[in-house]
Amino acid sequence: MSPLSQSSALSFLFKKLEERKRTYVAALARLALSADGHEPMVCYGRIDFLGSQEEIPDEASLDYKGFRLVQARLSVEEASMLARDLAEGKGLSVEGLNIPIKGQFYPSPLPYVASRQHFGFIQAEWPFALCNFRLESEYAGNAPQEPLVGLGLPLYPNGNDAIREFCQLAITSGMPSHELHFVLPDFRARIRTMKISERKLSVEVEAREETPENLRIKFYVEADQNRLRSQDLPLQNGCGEFAYEGELRLAMARLLSTSTGDDIDNRAFSPWRAYDREGIAIETSELRVTELVRRGEGLNVEFKEEPPRDEHQLLDTVVAFANTNGGTVLVGVTDNCVITGVPNPETIKEKVTNWISDKCDPPPQFSIHFIQVDQKNVVVLDVPEGTDKPYQDIDRGFFVRRGASNRQARRSEILEMIRGR
């Protein structure tokens, strides 16, 4: 990488720090270090800048004899100096550790990452800028592949698994290359949710450091063969709306500041493109079902090709959803995500309603209706998380949802539900 590229990346980092000097109150460094009898080497590191409303975690050091996980609080000035030292080849100094490092900063290809969206291995609740320092190979450590275990320490299957959890990376497998990530959140405002209804887009905006009066929302929609664009719309009670007609192909919302003209946050959705779905609520009937089918079964979704002959195969899921985080059952969809439909949706609605009323104690709230997808009837049963936990199938007991399946609740979980109520 050319010196110009590194200079550009550093300028970007320090510009953001200067812009947000009244916002950031501290930084949190999380490092994974390998030793193997030699001086420590960095496997991976993450430095997050924190605002006044962010909780600053306690410092921590997990030593697995040859592999160490360190979490350290830094002042903003210390974190800024850390970046400058890295750029000048002075190494890394954290918590009494002086680690020789060489590498280069390189600029992020994006001006910012939208709130609750992924970029590589990083995800944050607020929009964030990212600046990365890539280690030269001879200065990079390697995480152990064997299990990590020690008295009073968490047990991990391997070093990469430990790094992913300890550094709160938004992945379940794989690892970034040997890098230090500087994460710079923008706490001015964010789009909490974009809702997609039959003929309307709406966004809910949370403003923290920017006043709502200084925020504007812009929409872009492709529906059928039409391309629709909104003006700069002011927020009404923290929300913005835009109407459209036709079959939705693409929806975009951008949040802007009138104070600076900055594009602060965004959301985008298309049924045929691989956008992040975090922070997007699909309320249109057919589109919502096809999106749920595309994602497959999971914590909040279950498929039934037809109503089960044994009602408890459905009721266990209903009470599990009510006892956990809520969810949706689609009747007329196979386990392999194929929409087959059902021939008698009204009869199924009545049967399921009676099952829940007669066999659940207390009966949880639910809604049930059917829609047509490609001329096939799909019954949609929505069960929100309940307010009167614990719920039970009176013939089989209490259930909770774990992953894409149900299991009977433990005594401790039942007691916790009662205390929570």
Helices (H), 180-311: 285-295
Q: In the structure encoding, which two tokens stand for residue 126, read together?
A: 């607020």
Q: Which of helix, strand or coil describes residue 412?
A: helix
Tell me the β-bridge partners of 32: 44, 69
Q: Give the tens place of pLDDT for each residue, 302-311.
A: 999 999 999 9
The least confident of 1-10, 82-91, 117-126 is 1-10
Q: Which of helix, strand or coil describes residue 362?
A: coil
Tell me the β-bridge partners of 369: 380
The answer to whether 157 and 96 have CB atoms below 8 angstroms apart is: no
pLDDT of residue 406 exceeding 90: yes
In this structure, what is the dihedral angle of CA atoms 118, 122, 128, 131, given to the nearest 10 degrees? -130
Q: Which residue has the higher pLDDT, 93 or 359?
A: 359
Average pLDDT, rounded, for the chain: 91
Residue 9: predicted pLDDT? 87
Q: Which of helix, strand or coil describes residue 296?
A: coil
- Confidence band of 273 (pLDDT split at 50, 70, 90): low
Mean pLDDT across the stretch 277-284? Answer: 80
Q: Give the tens place of pLDDT for each residue, 67-99.
A: 999 999 999 999 999 999 999 989 888 877 788
Residue 272: predicted pLDDT? 64
- Confidence band of 254 (pLDDT split at 50, 70, 90): very high
- DSSP labels, 169-190: -S-SS----SEEEEEEE--SEE
Q: Which residue has the higher pLDDT, 109 or 73?
A: 73
pLDDT of residue 52 exceeding 60: yes
Q: Give the tens place of pLDDT for each residue, 208-218.
A: 999 999 999 99
Mean pLDDT across the stretch 370-390? Answer: 92
End-to-end Cα, the chain, rounded Å: 57
Residue 270: predicted pLDDT? 84
- Confidence band of 7 (pLDDT split at 50, 70, 90): confident
Q: What domains, with CATH codes, occur in the chain?
A: 3-185 (no CATH), 189-283 (2.60.40), 296-420 (3.30.950.30)
pLDDT of residue 362 exceeding 60: yes
Residue 275: predicted pLDDT? 61
- Confidence band of 39 (pLDDT split at 50, 70, 90): confident
- Confidence band of 274 (pLDDT split at 50, 70, 90): low
Say how many residues make up the chain: 421
The least confident of 4-8, 160-164, 231-235, 386-390 is 4-8
pLDDT of residue 106 exceeding 90: no
List C-alpha distances in Å: 38 to 45, 291, 351.
Answer: 19, 51, 69
Share of the chain above pLDDT 90, in %: 72
Beta strands in 239-362 (DSSP E): 239-243, 248-257, 263-269, 280-282, 301-304, 327-331, 360-361
Q: Tokens 């590589």 label which residue?
A: 120
Residue 175: predicted pLDDT? 76
Residue 37: predicted pLDDT? 60
Q: Give the tens place of pLDDT for each residue, 137-160.
A: 999 999 999 999 999 999 999 999
The answer to whether 218 and 241 have CB atoms below 8 angstroms apart is: no
* DSSP-derived secondary structure letter, 58: P
Q: To which H or E segment does residue 335 belong?
A: none
Residue 271: predicted pLDDT? 74
pLDDT of residue 103 exceeding 80: yes
Q: Which of helix, strand or coil describes residue 376?
A: strand
